Structure 1
Amino acid sequence: MSTSVFKTEDEIVKKLLLVRNSLLEVEESHADLLHNIHPNYKYNALNFLRYLKLRTFDLTEIQSDLTALGISSLSHAERHVLANVENILYLLSAHIKVPFSGKYEFGRHPISYKESGDYLKKNTLRLFGEHLNKQGIMVTLPSQGADTVFLSELLEAGMNIARINCSHDSLEVWKAMVENLKKASRELNKPCSVYMDLAGPKIRTHKIFIKKKLKGVSETKVFVGDTILLVKKVKNFQAKDEFAAVVTCTIASVIDDAKEGEGILFDDGKIEGIIERKEQNVLKIKILNTNPKGSKLKTEKGINLPDTYLNLPSLTDEDISNLDFICAHADIVGFSFVRNAADVARLQEELQKRQRGDLGMVLKIENKEAFQNLPYLILKAMESPTIGIMTARGDLAVELGVERLSEVQEEIMWLCEAALIPNIWATQVLESLAKKGIASRAEVTDAAMSVRTECIMLNKGPYIVKALKTLNAILSLMEKHQSKKQGTLRSLNVATAFLGKIDKQD
């Protein structure tokens, strides 16, 4: 015999009351976390705490029940958590004739669905610029970005945020980029914000040596099962075992931090290994995964140690020096290699020293520790007036694995929406199109997914203008079907055409 709807509704109300009461309790028990929040984010932080509490419950079964009743299933509750839960309780309680008294009257929550959308839009415009009428499209400028004609082409194609990567070029080149961008922007009457990424500590392969005579090479092929040695210095080095290569790295201290059994990856994960043995100044690494025909281990390629706690400053001396230029010329600073709230506090302190506490600040989530600490990072960042989060998907895929990335990029998006702050969808968006002139089907699907964020970042490439135009076309189509996580039901031509044809036949 089937369970009655009435009984199901009664059980749902009891479950939701438990959830709702816990949302109110978290406000009181963790009120200390909200003391230093900037006024711009007062409601954001409160809603963010409520969302974090909401996600400690497993609501999958109750969601199905709510959907069956034709009521909000909480699947779009990010921006207005308490309002969503209490409004469901008002509706269900009225139906089963059980009194319910919420913290606010029905439909009068200060963070409702509409108001929360306004908050998110306001915070997005504050970060990226009031000129933004839809989504932000950020483009990484190559060295030729100092050329006014090229910049004009990017602006005409839809770029409204220009990214300068401080890992490359020089102060002189950056200055030319900024000056020529402003000139082109004025001439075309197309406003464009300037975003500058701090380089952060870059752990890369430095020198590579092969065979026991230690002949230096720029690259060598390694295979699954090979042994390579990561060393601090090659001078006076004596190998006890056979090896495919001896490698030095740009930051030798990571050898001290690493432990046996931890993973290590080279060149964006193309080569994967495990630290089999650690000796003084040497890591013995067994290669676990490469291309079936072997992979080239090259100099100046990234090294990732996702399992290792690295005793490295997130802000390097070079970063701190570059902040002088950034504070004078940029609208937004991107914080690479941020890992914890203390890192955020350090950047905030440096900005305050330069009387630029108002500078837009974007935290780049690009390593395992940053993702695990994301709630702390967001709350600490909310002590500043203008913030956002970048999902650096390439680095995250290396750190967490490609399987986990699909879930993690969604979680970051949900947390940003709950905090009512803009999220930047970055790395490898339409990469084949930008580099080779032809987009893959998978890239087009990925670009379509990016419509759910407030900004999309494109990397440089010889066909970047074509990629920009394509991205704009994709976003123009998709924004009619999608608003954040929610699908929107505009009329479909395929449905109209089908029924129109059938009606004519009748």
Structure 2
Amino acid sequence: MQSNKASNASNKKVLITQVAELEVLIQAALTMEERFTPAIKEVNKDFRLSARNLLHYLALRQHDIRTLQAALAEKGLSSLGRTEGHVLASLFAVQKQLGISLDSQPASKEPAITFSESNELLQANTHALLGTAPANRNARIMVTIPTELASDYDLLCRMMLAGMNCARINCAHDDEKVWLEMIKNIKRAEKELNLPCKVLMDLMGPKLRTGPLKPGPKLISIHPIRDEQGQVVSPANVWLSAAGKEPNFRVDSRLPFSSAWVKQLQIGDVLDFRDTRGRKRRLSVVKKTAAGVVAHLFKTSYIGTGTTMRVNNKNMPQREAEVGELPAMEIPITLKKDNFLILHKEPLPGEPAIFDAGGHIIKPAHISCTLPEVFTRVKAGQPILFDDGKITGEIKTVSAGQLLIRITAASEKGSKLRANKGINLPDSKLNLTDLTEKDKQDLPFVMKHADIVNLSFVNHPDTVLELQNLMEKNGAVKTGIMLKIETKEAFRNLPHLLLAVMRRYPAGIMIARGDLAVECGWERLAEVQEEILWLCEAAHMPVVWATQVLETLAKKGRPSRAEITDAAMSQRADCVMLNKGPHVVQAIQMLDEILALMQLHQHKKTSMLRNLQISELEPIAEENARGKR
């Protein structure tokens, strides 16, 4: 009897301690909300409850509650592992249950957001930003659309029918003329297919990139498609036309000729030539249009400006013609471990290293960068990465006009660095808070035609506020804003970025996992991605899961096993982004199926306990029963 009393007293003491721990967490949440009252007042009314809940969640995550979680789970109570969308409601509910065990009723408290309101808010916010969810799944599919969709209407329709719900146009590529044709095609397809498709346009942002390289010879290399044994399985489709005349279908290469000469060509004509290596080659005309012709090429060829083509048709008045002006070939810089590279402020064309007769470098390779501001904001000893981390280096010396960099990692045979490749400075505080001049130039078009503005490489709330002010002045009140989180600095500032973007409605976040992995380290990507998902769910903010989803399927036609798992996990976001590729329709179809299936099993982090699909269980049981008879 005495033992039972002691045990009861001990249990009561533990319960009282746990109630007190919960009260500490509740008070911390309310204190955080009070501290940020001015910021909450600036938030759009449709985000105000969510902003309060976000602050409650940030306060909660400043405490290590793992011991408390284990104790609550042992009692069969919520372990607070799914509090993101309704922090105070979760804390109050658990506190109430503990109070019942103590035969005491805590004072009735009204949470900022109830359990049901949390889910309703996220659904409403996602609908406002990304449109109506498709019938078979909750997560939307966004696709980066290629340049050819400005003219290839059929491909766009196939993408939308496969499951694309949002088209992403990257303002780092093409121009307003091409963008407008893309958007016209999207609007036309929406009407004809009766399918909605939002348009998101990516502002380039202050992306640090390599500058131009010294131009090489004016030639192109054309390659037929070969299989694993090197056998040609499909010829290269080469477009022959006057300069500036584009086909309205996909081709592999383009060669300019005089308009009069191209008009003479007929299907079946054969064009003989010697390529720049002196090898005999042949083009066979297989299609003729008003703008030009398509010819098949079955052998790899290097063709330069001025290469002479001769038609085997003796009835042609002019049998020979020269290839017109071709773009200069880019000669990349090859870098190996322990090589030096000079990154300079002046916009001089980059060049490979110069070697002496013995193979020793007498002048290191050099290249410029697109943001001269970095030269005053980096320090010797800091890391620097190029081309999505394929090349890494260490800054050895810093001067007003250049950085001397020692390459610390590259491929064994040497990694090639080209123009317009990304540069990452993960340990450097660059303090780039203003919209770039290019973004300001692109913004009027984007505000007029896009449903969502995606702000790339955003690091500071001031950039978000500048964008919002410009949009306000131009009357773009219904255009959504999405922040692309792709730097270590943006990840550190995420709570402030969320509060800033919540000043306008609707809004969302994109997790750009490529640059984020380079900046934070590949080994930390999963952790960083998880934290972004947590904070966005606390803010009831739609999230786009982006970068390399089903990448090899889109590009090569067959996914890797790891990509299938990654695509399945992406269902925890509200939208999943695919990049362009020759097999993008197939990638959309597979992602559509995966997302529809996975939502039966999981919503955000919560497992959905539908019946297990284990078909073999009953037959084995029956077989065992028969064996015992």
The TM-score bracket by the shorter chain reads: over 0.9
1:493 counterpart SS class: coil
Is 2:212–2:348's contact at 8 Å kept on the other side of the alignment?
no
The aligned counterpart of 1:119 is 121
The aligned counterpart of 2:148 is 144
Q: Does 1:11 align with 2:131?
A: no
User: Cα distance 1:234–1:473, how it changes in 2: closer, same or farther (>3 A)?
Assistant: closer
Is 2:375–2:399's contact at 8 Å kept on the other side of the alignment?
no
Which segment drifts farther, 31-40 or 431-440? 31-40
Identity fraction in percent:
44
State TM-score, norm by structure 1: 0.92
User: Cα distance 1:189–1:270, how it changes in 2: closer, same or farther (>3 A)?
Assistant: same
Is 2:133–2:140's contact at 8 Å kept on the other side of the alignment?
no
Matched to 1:188, the amino acid is L
The aligned counterpart of 1:92 is 98
The aligned counterpart of 1:349 is 469
Q: Does 1:485 align with 2:605?
A: yes
How far, CA to CA, are the matches of 1:316 and 1:236 in structure 2? 22
How far, CA to CA, are the matches of 1:480 and 1:425 in structure 2? 19
Q: Does 1:70 align with 2:76?
A: yes
After the TM superposition, which residues 226-265 of structure 1 pair with which residues of structure 2 at under 5 Å, given as runs? 226-233=339-346, 244-265=364-385
1:300 CA drift (Å): 2.3
Is 2:85–2:538's contact at 8 Å kept on the other side of the alignment?
yes
The aligned counterpart of 1:213 is none
After the TM superposition, which residues 350-429 of structure 1 pair with which residues of structure 2 at under 5 Å, given as runs? 350-429=470-549
The aligned counterpart of 2:251 is none
1:298 CA drift (Å): 2.2
How far, CA to CA, are the matches of 1:420 and 1:136 in structure 2? 16
1:96 CA drift (Å): 2.1
Q: Does 1:164 align with 2:194?
A: no
How far, CA to CA, are the matches of 2:522 and 2:583 in structure 1? 26
The aligned counterpart of 1:287 is 407
How far, CA to CA, are the matches of 2:467 and 2:212 in structure 1? 32
Which segment drifts farther, 397-406 or 155-164? 397-406
Counterpart among 494, 498, 504 of residue 617 in structure 2 = 498
1:368 CA drift (Å): 1.3
How far, CA to CA, are the matches of 1:470 and 1:5 in structure 2? 53
How far, CA to CA, are the matches of 2:458 and 2:348 in structure 1? 34
Q: Does 1:221 align with 2:334?
A: yes
> Structure 2: which 5+ runs fail to align?
215-328, 354-360
Matched to 1:502, the amino acid is A
1:453 CA drift (Å): 0.6
1:23 CA drift (Å): 1.6
1:267 CA drift (Å): 0.6
How far, CA to CA, are the matches of 2:570 and 2:347 in structure 1? 46
Counterpart among 429, 434, 440 of residue 309 in structure 1 = 429
User: Matched residue pairs, number?
Assistant: 493
After the TM superposition, which residues 415-494 of structure 1 pair with which residues of structure 2 at under 5 Å, given as runs? 415-494=535-614
Matched to 1:51, the amino acid is Y
Is 1:393–1:405's contact at 8 Å kept on the other side of the alignment?
yes
1:234 CA drift (Å): 8.1
How far, CA to CA, are the matches of 1:234 and 1:142 in structure 2? 29
User: Cα distance 1:103–1:434, how it changes in 2: closer, same or farther (>3 A)?
Assistant: same
Is 1:337–1:364's contact at 8 Å kept on the other side of the alignment?
yes
2:158 counterpart SS class: helix
The aligned counterpart of 1:200 is 205
User: 1:375-419 CA deviation, whole Å, 9 max, x = no partner?
Assistant: 011111111011000001101011111111111111000000000
How far, CA to CA, are the matches of 1:290 and 1:63 in structure 2? 45
How far, CA to CA, are the matches of 1:73 and 1:94 in structure 2? 17
- Give the helix-richer structure, 1 or 2: 1
CA radius of gyration, larger in = 2
Is 1:227–1:242's contact at 8 Å kept on the other side of the alignment?
no
How far, CA to CA, are the matches of 2:494 and 2:132 in structure 1? 27
Counterpart among 131, 135, 140 of residue 129 in structure 1 = 131
Matched to 1:358, the amino acid is K
Q: Does 1:56 align with 2:62?
A: yes
User: 1:319-340 CA deviation, whole Å, 9 max, x = no partner?
Assistant: 1121111111111110112111
